[in-house]
Every structure is written in C-alpha cells, then in structure tokens.
C-alpha cells in the first residue's frame, strides 16, 4: 500500500469537511495520532511514513465515526482539561476549555487568602473541575457529587489515574440534598441549556452528550433555582461560590444568588469574551 500518514490525513480532512465537521484537519490528525500512538508533532515529522493495512483500516473506522459527528473526545475516550488527561465516556459531558475560566477564578480568589481545604463540586461529570482544583490546591480535600452513578464512577477513575484519589470522594446524589458544610469553595457547572434549544445544538452535542448533563429545563435555569438556596448553608463565611453559566444567563443567575443571601456577586467572562461564571461570596 502506498498511502502515507500525510496523504491519509489530507484525504480524511476533505471528507470530514464535507460532512460538516469543524476543525477537520485537527480531528484527522488526532485520529491518526491515536491509531499510530503518535503526537500531532510526530505526524508532521513523519508525514511521508507509510501505514500498514491494519492501521489504514483502523483509521478509516475512526474517520467514519467522526463523519457521523461523534465527538473526537468520545472516539478517543479522552479529553485534556487544565493540561490534565481525563477519560470521557457516553455517561459524561466532555470537559470544555471555557470551563477553565472557573479554575482561574478560584486561583485568583484564593491568591491572597488561606488556600481552600474543603471543596465541593456539584454535578462533577468527569471530575475535571474538582480534580483540576485539587491539582492546584495540594492541601485540599474534594467531594464530587453526580446524579448518575456511571458518571461518578468515571470521575473516581479519573481521580485514581491522576493520583488524586486519596484527596477526593465521589458521591451519587441529587445536588447537595444529602450534604452539610461548610466548604471553602463550592463549584457547579449544572445543565443550563433550555430544553427546546437542545435539538438545534451541533450534532456532536445533541446526539452524543448525555441529556442529563445538558437539559436545564424550560428556560435553562431550573438547576440554578434548585442549587442557589442551599449555597448559604454549604459555604464557609469567607468561602467562594462559582457557578458556570450560559452566555445569556448572567443577570438571572446573579439575581438567584443574591436572593440566596450572597452580597458580592460578579459575572466573569471566558477568553472568548462571553459571560461564563458567577463568582460570589457572602
């Protein structure tokens, strides 16, 4: 067979583009890298390397999945967040780079204060937020809660692989109903897409990510309404509350948090300039 890694990546890029995939070249490189066990940088250096028939067939199978709009993170079973590697399954939302805004906000708040020792993550998913924070705050212990047992298991496995399991516990539960405080830092990235908007999302999200991680009810705010009233009792007096929000939800979620008794409430933006995080303290 005369195909090289480079020629196969170029051909796959064109097919993925035709299938409506954004970032087709990057995805083709990631899929080829997965098949060959090489980094993207390797692939540039070994552009003219021949591939075996088995490698060709394996690559074709992955490209077909991506053409059906399955996200790369699901195909590879991993996604990087905060430079850490997270396993991703069909039970978890893939970590999003925009969520790193929340980690930056926590680092900023605790820069001039005693570092947090008790962290609570409500709706932990892969555990990406909690585990990134535990990585940054080496004296902290974290509790991650998720309603879905399969999701909580993925978070636990991620903690084990990252060497953080001795400082983390994962519980299956309905938000914080079974928990007491106080925690120094409480974070949550709850489902916040309005139910009617979900079918119009990219197929990667609408068809492959778990509905229970996306659906925030009729106006997308249902889970903030449930979460906000519990935050006062869960948070230490000088602690920080961080909610991830959708880009248009800053005002409404701020109001809910203020109504729950928080006096200092700010809306923070992500690197794309969109409202992304509610940062609050008492």
Binding positions are 123-127, 146, 175, 189-192
Angle between helices 24-36 and 53-67 (to 10 degrees): 140
Give the nearer residue to ligand SAM in terms of CB position, either 29 or 151.
151
Smallest gap from Cβ 245 to ligand SAM, in A, equals 11
CB of 255 to ligand SAM, least distance (A): 21
Residue among 47 and 80 whose Cβ is closer to ligand SAM: 80
Q: Which two tokens stand for residue 65?
A: 């999945």
CA dist list (Å): 9 to 24, 37, 99, 187: 10, 15, 30, 40
Tokens of 74: 């699901």
The alpha helices in the chain, defined as continuous H runs, are 5-18, 24-36, 40-45, 53-67, 72-76, 100-109, 128-136, 149-161, 203-206, 211-214, 222-234, 250-259
The position carrying tokens 């991993």 is 78
Cβ-based nearer residue to ligand SAM, 3 or 172: 172
Q: How far is the CB of 74 from ligand SAM (least distance, A)?
A: 14
Q: CA 177 to CA 126: how far, in whole Å?
A: 21
Angle of the 100-109 helix axis to the 128-136 helix axis, nearest 10: 30
Q: Least distance in Å: CB of 101 to ligand SAM? A: 11
Binding site for S-adenosyl-L-methionine: which residues?
A: 123-127, 146, 175, 189
Nearer to ligand SAM, 8 or 132 (CB): 132
The full 3-state SS of 218-270, as one line of letters, equals CCCCHHHHHHHHHHHHHEEEEEEEEEECCCCCHHHHHHHHHHCCCCEEEEEEC
For residue 184, give the 3-state DSSP assignment.
strand
Nearer to ligand SAM, 33 or 220 (CB): 220
Residue 203 structure tokens: 């197929």
We find the least distance from the C-beta atom of residue 211 to ligand SAM, in angstroms, to be 9
Q: How far is the CB of 137 from ligand SAM (least distance, A)?
A: 17
Known binding-site residue numbers for substrate? 189-192
Residues of this chain that interact with ligand SAM (CB under 6 A) are 93, 95, 99, 123-126, 128-129, 145-148, 151, 174-175, 189-191, 212-213
């Amino acid at each position: 067979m005369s195909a090289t890694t480079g020629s196969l990546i170029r051909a796959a890029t064109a097919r993925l583009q035709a299938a409506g995939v954004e970032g087709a070249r990057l995805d083709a490189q990631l899929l080829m890298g997965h098949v060959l066990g090489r980094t993207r940088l390797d692939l540039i250096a070994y552009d003219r390397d021949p591939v075996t028939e088995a490698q060709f067939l394996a690559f074709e199978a992955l490209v077909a999945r991506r053409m059906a709009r399955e996200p790369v993170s699901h195909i590879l079973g991993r996604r990087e967040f905060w430079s850490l590697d997270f396993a991703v399954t069909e039970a978890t939302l893939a970590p999003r780079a925009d969520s790193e805004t929340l980690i930056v906000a926590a680092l900023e708040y605790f820069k001039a204060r005693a570092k947090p020792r008790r962290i609570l993550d409500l709706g932990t998913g892969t555990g990406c937020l909690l585990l990134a924070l535990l990585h940054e705050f080496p004296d902290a212990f974290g509790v991650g809660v998720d309603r879905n047992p399969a999701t909580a298991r993925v978070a636990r496995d991620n903690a084990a692989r990252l060497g953080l399991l001795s400082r983390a516990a994962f519980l299956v539960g309905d938000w914080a109903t079974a928990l007491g405080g106080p925690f120094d830092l409480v974070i949550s990235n709850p489902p916040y897409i309005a139910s009617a908007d979900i079918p119009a999302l990219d197929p990667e999200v609408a068809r492959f990510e778990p509905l229970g991680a996306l659906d925030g009810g009729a106006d997308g705010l249902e889970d903030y309404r449930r979460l906000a009233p519990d935050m006062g009792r869960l948070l230490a007096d000088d602690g920080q509350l961080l909610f991830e929000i959708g880009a248009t939800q800053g005002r409404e979620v701020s109001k809910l948090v203020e109504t729950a008794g928080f006096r200092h409430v700010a809306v923070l933006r992500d690197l794309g300039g969109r409202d992304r995080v509610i940062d609050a303290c008492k």
